[in-house]
Every structure is written in C-alpha cells, then in structure tokens.
Amino acid sequence: QVQLRESGGGWVQAGGSLRLSCLVSGRTYGSYAMGWFRQAPGKEREFVAGISWSGGSTDYAGSVKGRFTISRDNAKNTYLEMNSLKPEDTAVYYCAADYGGQRVEVRANKYEYWGQGTQVTVSS
C-alpha cells in the first residue's frame, strides 16, 4: 500500500510564503509522476502543479505560475514552494502520485494515490 502525507499547511498573511511537503511511503515500484491539487469550499478540485518522474519537467496552473515551484528529491519527497500568496490561494492542498507515469499529468482522474490534504489559509 502506497501512502502519501502532506505537511506544511497553515495560516499566512497575503504576500507571505509557505512550503508544503509530501512524503511517499510504503512499497513503491517503477516510476511515478507527482502533482499538487487544491480544493476550496464549494469549488472543484483543480490542478496546481505537476512534476515528471525525472524531475526534469514541470507544469503549473496559470494562476500560480511565477509564484509556486514544485520539486522532488530522491528521498520520496515532493515539495510545493508557495510565494506571494493571495487570499484566493486558500484551499485544502493535496499531493497525488500518478503511478506508472513519467510525464507531467494535469488530469486528476489519472492519479492513483492521494494524500489527505493540508489546509492553507491566506488572510487579506
């Protein structure tokens, strides 16, 4: 069983920064691309950022380009650095693994494993 757990969420003032972490544990085999999604109350879950298996390719939602950075290391950690945060960034943030995939995937239904989410609240 593959487990994902997010951490690093919290309260921050507009213009501030947070770094989210996602730890992948359990038995993992082969390749998997990683992504971050978010969901605000009353809204659909939306793609935020994705990173390929190699870490060489990334993609971002237009609303976060230039402010957020996704990265991963060799210790099964994926990160989302969030800068210049805005109130509209307030949401529960989820990390997800596209097991067997190597390319960046923006479609939520292509991800097999999901974390429980971490709340990010940006006050104005």
pLDDT, one tens digit per residue, over 28-49 is 778 999 999 999 999 999 999 9
Predicted local distance difference test score (pLDDT) of residue 111 = 96
Specify whether the CB–CB gap between 79 and 72 falls below 8 A.
yes
121 vs 124: CA distance, rounded Å: 10
Nearest alpha carbon to residue 36 among 46, 48, 19: 48
Q: 84-105: per-residue pLDDT in tens?
A: 999 999 999 999 999 988 899 9
pLDDT of res. 29:
77
pLDDT reported for residue 30: 84
pLDDT in tens, 52-82: 999 999 999 999 999 999 999 977 899 999 9
